[in-house]
Amino acid sequence: MTDKKSFRKSQLIAFDNVAAGHDGVLSDPAGEIVVKPCKQSEIDFYESTTAHPSIVPHIPTFIGRLSLGPDLATAQAAGTLILPGETAAESQPAGPGIAGAAVIENQWTPTNGGKIQTDLAIVLENVAKGYIKPNILDVKLGARLWADDAPEAKRKKLDKVAEETTSKPSGFRIAGMKTYQGKGMVGKGDVQADGYRVYDKMYGRAFTAETVAEGFREYFLLVKESKVEGPIRKVIKRFLSDLREVEEAIGKEESRMYSASLLFVYEGDSEALQKAFGDEKAVLAALEDASPPEEGTDSDGSTDDEPNFPAIQNLKLIDFAHAAWTPGQGPDHNILHGIDNVAKILSQIVG
């Protein structure tokens, strides 16, 4: 069980490492956590993963839930993470869409990436923590993007998006990404003041099944048709291994994860990436040289001091607002198809 924690509203800041998705994501100043507005269904899914241990390594660590609702006693009783009240000037009333509000099917309207109307949030580990300049890619999975309870208007809208993008033929599409171009590129083209180039959802929608590999090459900062060498080749091969592990884990479960995503993160500062590989090698060498455990110690030789591996690359499944376990229905081939096609593209890139 996760220990209870407390954050004041004034301690949370806007999270700027979002490649796609809805507005309103927050973080703590240290960048250890992500506070994501969500619906109860996503909290329920994360809490249910304790019964599905094969999935847990492939999703962000679930820390808890957070309530911004006005009923402090109810929130505490539910075991939520509470945001203590600020002064009257800082406090804000709960917005529309709080728990218990009626949902009428014919009133569904798309958020278009805007803030979700909810007083709930999920608290997760920040997958991008530890990186100097994280390069982030969000890949939306599935040819079908809506769950069984989706209203007809939403089904039609998402089906149209799938038909017009790589979602339908390939089972995935690039939903957004940001890549570090370097301070020397600031002011050139659309590179921002922090040295990043940001690609919104329309970037990925322009690709076809035949051209989408170009988007992945752009993410890895590869010149078209250039040979992939050095640290970035190692990064891509690690992502390939990660993808096959995710694929295996999903294949063993009976679930449906509509509109879930793959979140790719790797170190975008070339010097930091090179150093990280060297540091990792030193850590592994130190572990090999470590003395075997003495008699009476744990058989696995574990100690309180875990090895401190540098941040190189990470891959996680995210976005479970429309995910559920479905006993008797078999694996989720809707997203497995997309994962397999992403892996095939990365295999083609490294050759």
pLDDT at 117: 58
Are the beta carbons of 67 and 5 closer than 8 angstroms? no
**pLDDT per residue of the chain (351 residues) written in tens, 0 to 9:** 444 455 555 565 565 655 555 557 888 788 888 888 888 999 999 999 999 999 999 999 999 988 755 543 333 333 334 333 333 333 333 333 323 322 223 333 445 544 555 678 899 999 999 999 999 999 999 999 999 999 999 999 999 999 999 999 999 999 999 999 999 999 888 999 999 999 999 999 999 999 999 999 999 999 877 789 999 999 999 999 999 999 999 999 999 999 999 999 999 999 999 999 999 999 999 988 876 655 555 544 445 567 889 999 999 999 999 999 999 999 999 999 999 999 999 999 998
pLDDT at 100: 31
- Sheet with 62-67, side-by-side order of all strands: 13-14, 26-27, 33-37, 120-125, 62-67, 81-82
Looking at residue 262, the DSSP 8-state letter turns out to be: E
pLDDT at 13: 57
pLDDT at 175: 95
CA distances from 290 to 276, 282, 293, 310 (A): 21, 12, 9, 19
Distance of CA 18 to the CA centre of its chain: 9
Are the beta carbons of 115 and 39 closer than 8 angstroms? no
CA distances from 317 to 263, 278, 314, 339 (A): 6, 28, 10, 10
34 three-state secondary structure: strand
Give the global pTM: 0.81
Cα–Cα distance between 111 and 21 in angstroms, integer? 10
Are the beta carbons of 313 and 265 closer than 8 angstroms? yes
pLDDT at 19: 52
pLDDT at 16: 62
